Amino acid sequence: MVDLITKKRFAEALDSSEIEWLIDAYVRGAVAPEQMSALLMAVVIQGMDRGEIKALTTAMIASGERMSFSGLGRPAIDKHSTGGVGDKITLPLVPLMASLGVAVPQLSGRGLGHTGGTLDKLESIPGWRAALSNTEMEQVLREVGGVICAAGSGLAPADRAMYALRDVTGTVASVPLIASSIMSKKIAEGADGLVLDVKFGSGAFLASMADARELAETMVRLGQDSGMRTVALLTDMDAPLGRAVGNANEVRESVEVLAGGGPSDVTELTLALAREMLELAGRGDVDPEPALANGTAMDAWRRMILAQGGDPDAPLPVARETETVRAAADGIVQHVDAHKVGVAAWRLGAGRARPGDSVDHAAGVEVLVKPGERVRAGDPLFVAASDNAGRMARGLGLLGEAAEIGGSVPSSRPLIAGRVAGAA
């Protein structure tokens, strides 16, 4: 192991047999966490070439089980987002696709830090259950067409162990490590195709669009090399997505989208990803938009929540404490900082500082303004919500800095900034 650390420290490529040994030895406990931490930091600094990334992904897949949805009788297309502030797209997208005859086996995670987790959001719904066996997952897919649940312990266990280490050693933001982490699980999951939502901006893990494009291209190549059709959209996460940031309030906003309403940016991205998924499923001639207006996507949502023990009609948690942040002057909103809004929601209780922490499902932030909107002094900009009055001041401090107001109209930025697809 010391030889491998030294080799990577001097920017030499590890061959596939070395990487295979490394992952197997770490899972068996033959490699100490301190040694793996040193190697991960060397990767962050020196990077990995295409062959190394492919070998790392393959080794992590081989560390656990592989799933298959070939017996469903309909195409299975997965979706993954690299995470952002207010990113609730999975919630309306999965039932929308189910209503259009495309199965979506969505294995999701929990939030850590300033980005929210899909499972935390859905657990706002009384009775809803994230932990499903593979048999239960397939049953829900057959009955409903879509499922959102936690990944089982047998899927790429090497990645789970390595990510826990990366999270506490400052080695998360590395394109090779992010790409192999995501794609090892997605390839092992066994869907027919994968659509990636790769985010950039202040609220994303990768701030620059160039880094996001590199990550998207790397993941698309990994998918293509494994035989899984893969496409990625590059989306702007400099401002929060939608107007709700938190858990229960993001579920409410998702239901609005399923009812044909909701914020225009959430609807735009939901439909853009749906069209990419339909194309991979061989149904590119289908328009997904009517399913949001005619209620069929909402019907699929209700069936999906019920199938996992939830009550779609139950009231969602509402915070006991709310405070409004107001504009200090007249002007035009220049920028809404997604990172500051996300950290504010985290401080209010919507997120967790370490794995295993509980979250306040009622906590979060309502974003009342978007860039380009005109405000007057005293107009509301944000509403902070929490069940813990002691957390309020820490969240309000950041929200007071999150909206920049000026005198000019800012240039508009497209929500979807690019697309990356594999070779035909």
Active-site positions?
80, 159, 166, 181, 185
Q: Give the pLDDT score at 375.
A: 98
Give the pTM. 0.94
CATH 3.40.1030.10 in the chain: give the residue spans. 77-153+166-313+417-421
**Is the predicted pLDDT of residue 107 greater than 80, yes or no?**
yes
Q: Write the CA distances from 55 to 64, 256, 329, integer angstroms.
A: 15, 43, 55
Q: Give the pLDDT score at 113.
A: 64
pLDDT band at 424 (very low <50, low <70, confident <90, very high): low
Q: Give the pLDDT score at 70.
A: 85
Q: Give the pLDDT score at 337.
A: 97
AA letter at 328: A
Mean pLDDT of 328-335: 97
Residue length of the chain: 424
Locate 256 and state its tokens. Answer: 């609005």
Burial of 124 (0-12, 13-18, 19+ CB in 10 A): buried
With a pLDDT cut of 70, the percent of the chain lying above it is 99
Query: Whole-angstrom Cα distance, residue 102 to residue 94?
Result: 9
Mean pLDDT of 378-393: 95
Query: Whole-angstrom Cα distance, residue 392 to residue 386?
Result: 7
**Is the predicted pLDDT of residue 422 greater than 80, yes or no?**
no
CATH number for region 321-406? 3.90.1170.30
Grouping H, G, I as helix, E, B as strand and the rest as coil, residue 152 is coil
Find the range with the poorest average confidence among 266-270, 282-286, 389-393: 389-393
Q: Give the pLDDT score at 400.
A: 94
Q: What mean pLDDT is reported for the chain?
A: 94
Q: Give the pLDDT score at 261.
A: 96
**Is the predicted pLDDT of residue 39 greater than 60, yes or no?**
yes
With a pLDDT cut of 90, the percent of the chain lying above it is 86
Location of structure tokens 């996507």: 297
Mean pLDDT of 316-333: 97
Mean pLDDT of 5-26: 97
CATH 3.90.1170.30 in the chain: give the residue spans. 321-406
The percent helix, strand, coil of the chain (3-state, each to 5) is 45, 15, 40
> What is the assigned CATH class of domain 77-153+166-313+417-421?
alpha beta
**Is the predicted pLDDT of residue 355 greater than 60, yes or no?**
yes
Mean pLDDT of 285-305: 97
Q: Give the pLDDT score at 423.
A: 66
CA-nearest of 291, 281, 52, 62 to 174 is 52
115-149 per-position pLDDT tens digit: 778 999 999 999 999 999 989 999 999 999 999 99
Mean pLDDT of 24-37: 95
| Cα four-point dihedral sign 198, 199, 204, 209 | positive
**Is the predicted pLDDT of residue 71 greater than 90, yes or no?**
no
Query: Whole-angstrom Cα distance, residue 18 to residue 338?
Result: 40
204-249 per-position pLDDT tens digit: 988 999 999 999 999 999 999 999 999 999 999 999 999 999 999 9
**DSSP conformational letter for 346:** I
